[in-house]
Amino acid sequence: MFSFRRSAFLLAFTVSACLGSQAPQLQAQASSSSQPAEPAAAPQPQTTGPLTVQARLKARREQRRAAAIHDVYSHLYEAYVGTGYLRFTPGTALQRVNEYSWNVGVTRYYSERFGVTVDGRGTYGSAYIGPNAASDTAVYKPAISEYTAMAGPTYRFLLEPRYSVAGRILVGGAFGNFSGDTGSFTPAELGLYPNGAGLALSASVPVEYNVSPGVGLRIAPEYLLTNFGSTTQNNLGFTGGIVVRWGKQ
């Protein structure tokens, strides 16, 4: 009897010890299972190597382009010299004639885009007057010439390292010489405008190609208005030549 009691006591003690040793583990498992699981971290965007290299190359190209533009168009002064062509009406009842000219000018720039231009030119041609009172003296195509001095704003609206496109408006005076080859006849007797001064207004679109930062080539389609003989002449043509830049803004 005593042996049975002792065996039962030992069995109960052993079970109690096992349960006591496992209780903390069970409590920890229960505590961890009762807490909500933390959400998984959102994946971070990754910048791939090629895209980063392309962005750096693009930024460097833009920096080089901006530096090249500044190198060309940051000059303080720009001078040009060249020639030109004009379709001119020498008299109210006469046909248009082809005229050729020399052209010089200087522009003072206040920024890479805006400047003020002073322009001078002389234009020369021969007027076809047809049968007239001077036919017996062989005056058929008298030489004529016009001279203008104008000034006004120039604005570059397109800038590239190799070329630029601008708009230019010039206003000033003109002088016409229509009697230099008429002999004893007056210009009016031959249907030409009388000699004299008048208004000159030019609207042009200069296009420049840059050979180097300091040298360029220019062509400028142009509309030129004059008012010789108290009438208005609407003339079309162009000027072109070489451009030289110097000084820094």
Residue 18 pLDDT > 70: no
Nearest to 105 by CA among 83, 84, 76, 79: 79
For residues 198 and 210, what is the distance between their CA atoms, to the nearest angstrom?
36
Q: What is the distance between the alpha carbons of residues 85 and 179, in angstroms, rounded to a whole number?
A: 21
CA 220, 87, 103, 105 dihedral sign is: negative
Average pLDDT over residues 102-124: 97
State the chain's mean pLDDT as an integer. 83
Q: Give the H or E element holding residue 18.
A: helix 2-34
Yes or no: say if 100 and 123 are a contact pair by the CB < 8 Å rule: yes
pLDDT band for 6, please (50, 70, 90 cuts): low
Q: How many CB atoms lie within 10 A of CB 227?
A: 16
Cβ-proximal residues to 102 (8 Å cutoff; 6+ apart), any chain:
81, 82, 83, 84, 121, 122
| pLDDT of 230 | 87
For residue 197, which amino acid is it?
A
Tell me the CA end-to-end span of the chain in Å, nearest whole number: 120
155-182 per-position pLDDT tens digit:
999 999 999 999 999 999 999 999 988 7
For residue range 132-144, list pLDDT tens digits in order: 655 555 567 889 9
Domain 54-248 part of CATH 2.40.160.20: yes
Per domain, the residue ranges of the chain are: 54-248
Q: Give this prediction's pTM.
A: 0.74
Of 33 and 195, more confident: 195
Tokens, residue 68: 């090249």
In this structure, is the dihedral angle defined by the CA atoms of residues 98, 102, 106 and 112, taken in order, positive or negative? positive
Listed residue (205, 201, 196) closest to 172, CA to CA? 201
pLDDT score at 182: 79
User: Can you tell me the mean pLDDT for 212-219?
Assistant: 96
Answer with the residue of higher pLDDT: 234 or 54. Answer: 234
